[in-house]
Amino acid sequence: MSATLDNWRTPPHNVWAFHNIEKLIPVHTISKPDKSSPLKSSPKSFDGFNIQSNESRLDLQSFLSYTNTDGFVILHKGEVAYEYYANDNNASSKHIMMSMSKSVTGLIAGILCSQGKLDLSAQVKKYVPSVSGIYNGVTVQELLDMRSGVKAEDDRHEYRAASGFKPFDGGEEARTLHSFIEKLHAEVDDSKDFVYSSVNTDLLGWVLEAATGQKLAELISELLWRPMGAESDAMITVDAEGSARAAGGMCATVRDIARIGQLLADGGRDVVPKSWIEDMLHSGSTEAWSKGTFAAFFKGVFAGDATAYRDCWYSADVNENGKESVLMAVGIFGQQLMIDLEHNLVMAKTSSMEMPMHAQKARLQTEAFREVRRVLLG
């Protein structure tokens, strides 16, 4: 069966489509540096890996198969402890990151803020005056934290078509991502608790472009991809007028996704400000999270009750053993990046699960991270 713009997110088509996005959707290139930062290999045995699914006990290979893994990299102290590929993926496959793209967009916002080019306390309208009135009074920081109050459905057909993810059916008013945001009508929650709406991050990407006069792909390349020493070009999908899908269109190798995690584990290495990493980890509102739309879905994903969403990253800094310092980026269909800052441990995973949101497998992926840490650290 062949994947098309209409079916590429549904199985079995997603298995091929997720690492061949540029054959379905227009993209902008995120350029790598002339010389990458090599990843040293230091293979470790994971024979002791053992976790429980609903049906059975799983060793590492069984876990990877059960969670529809396409690419998997474990870094410990910057060295590759384990690497795995399936479904015709390899070390150079550029896999769609889905909403892990949001976390990259958040890093770019942090870098621009440190350079004095972005005011997080400013209202969005300072940068994008034509934005829909439902964003009146909303600040850039509230976009970063999913606390704009805007309750726009991610699966709305017009939104997906305008962003380039679905074909138009003829009934849409908006034909581009920006025109969709300008005309957007949605319910607004005045409490400003956590409400996950991808359009917030697509608007954030627009804000970053307006603040700098550069395309998002150029910003990612200049501020993150080249400085961190990525080994491959990445891509980001764009709509009919070349506006980037900041909320979910980035595609990269799993090795370079792991490099993002390693950069944060290393304190930012003068690429991402250390103060921004601290903000991501410690400044999120656990109260806003607990009242928000994902609290029930994520219950049990992190140990303890310190989960929050800050700067487009999930964080948990406390568990039953005390301080944990974990950051996580997540995308639908099983994309996941987890970083244990305290132990300099990174787990990057790309997948082609059958369902966009699978609570049991999402929890299992997080449990796998804890098990990887147990095996490595003893």
Question: Which CATH number belongs to the domain containing residue 281 in this structure?
Answer: 3.40.710.10
Q: Judge whether residue 322 has pLDDT over 60.
A: no
| Containing structural domain, residue 245 | 20-377
Global pTM? 0.96
**Domain-embedded: residue 13:** no
Please give the DSSP secondary-structure letter assigned to residue 77.
T
3-state helix/strand/coil string of 86-129? CCCCCCCCCEECCCHHHHHHHHHHHHHHHCCCCCCCCEHHHCCC
**Per-residue pLDDT at 363:** 85
State mean pLDDT over 180-198: 94
**Domain-embedded: residue 151:** yes
Q: What confidence category does residue 303 fall into, taking pLDDT thresholds of 50, 70 and 90?
A: low
State mean pLDDT over 67-85: 98
**Per-residue pLDDT at 244:** 98
Torsion angle of the four alpha carbons 152, 155, 161, 167, in this order, in degrees rounded to the nearest 10: -170
Number of domains observed in the structure of the chain: 1
In DSSP terms, which residues pair with 336 in a beta bridge? 330, 349
Residue type at position 226: R
Q: What confidence category does residue 297 fall into, taking pLDDT thresholds of 50, 70 and 90?
A: confident
Q: What confidence category does residue 305 fall into, taking pLDDT thresholds of 50, 70 and 90?
A: low
State mean pLDDT over 108-124: 98
3 state DSSP class of 17: helix
pLDDT more than 90, % of the chain: 84
Q: Judge whether residue 54 has pLDDT over 90.
A: no
> Cα(347)–Cα(81) distance, rounded to whole angstroms?
10
Q: State pLDDT tens for residues 253-273.
A: 999 999 999 999 999 999 999
Q: Judge whether residue 371 has pLDDT over 70.
A: yes
**Domain-embedded: residue 9:** no
**Per-residue pLDDT at 1:** 56
- Residue 336 has phi, psi (to 5 degrees) of -155, 135
Q: What is the chain's mean pLDDT, rounded?
A: 94
**Domain-embedded: residue 3:** no
Here the contacts of 216-220 (C-beta below 8 Å, separation 24 or greater) are 216/28, 216/105, 216/108, 216/244, 216/246, 217/28, 217/29, 217/30, 217/244, 219/108, 219/112, 220/30, 220/104, 220/108, 220/250
**Domain-embedded: residue 70:** yes
Residue type at position 235: M
Q: Determine which helix (DSSP H) or strand (DSSP E) holds 258, and give its type and residue range.
A: helix 254-265
**Per-residue pLDDT at 304:** 59
Q: What confidence category does residue 295 fall into, taking pLDDT thresholds of 50, 70 and 90?
A: confident
**Domain-embedded: residue 204:** yes
Q: How is 309-321 classified by DSSP, letter by letter?
A: EETTEEEEEEETT
